[in-house]
Amino acid sequence: MNKAALLIMHKTLPGKRDEVRQVWERHLMPNIAGNPAHEAYFYCYDDNDPDVICAFQQYRDRVAPQDFIKAPWYAAYIKEVTPLIAGEPEVRAVTPVWAKGGSN
């Protein structure tokens, strides 16, 4: 499997998780849905912290994540979401070695 994946955790300001999701839905969700380089994407709420969002992203290759964040709509998302989050997200690059139901 020659894929790239990211695990991302965002800490929002208290009570702002749903607002962050609205910004994500407006700017990123349609672009992710239409991006063939995104093979899998899970946008999740943390069950133990009402101010944490977790995302898992699988890309077809290692170049795709860098290409994705260069788009002008990504910059618009960052500008709008920054006042709602508590600092930089925790981002971990991981290498998928097996996936059930995905493209191997």
Sorted by where each begins, the domain ranges of the chain are 4-94
For residues 38-43, average pLDDT: 95
What is the residue-averaged pLDDT of the chain? 93
Share of the chain above pLDDT 70, in %: 95
H or E stretch covering 81: helix 72-81
Task: Please report the pLDDT score of residue 103 as a whole number.
Answer: 52
CA 104 – CA 101 distance, rounded (Å): 8
- The backbone region for 52, taken as left when phi is positive above 0, alpha when psi lies in -120 to 50, beta otherwise, is beta
Say whether pLDDT at 50 is over 50.
yes
**Amino acid making up residue 28:** L
Edge-first strand order for the sheet with 4-11 is 38-45, 52-59, 4-11, 90-94
Question: So what CATH class is 4-94?
Answer: alpha beta
For residues 81-99, average pLDDT: 93
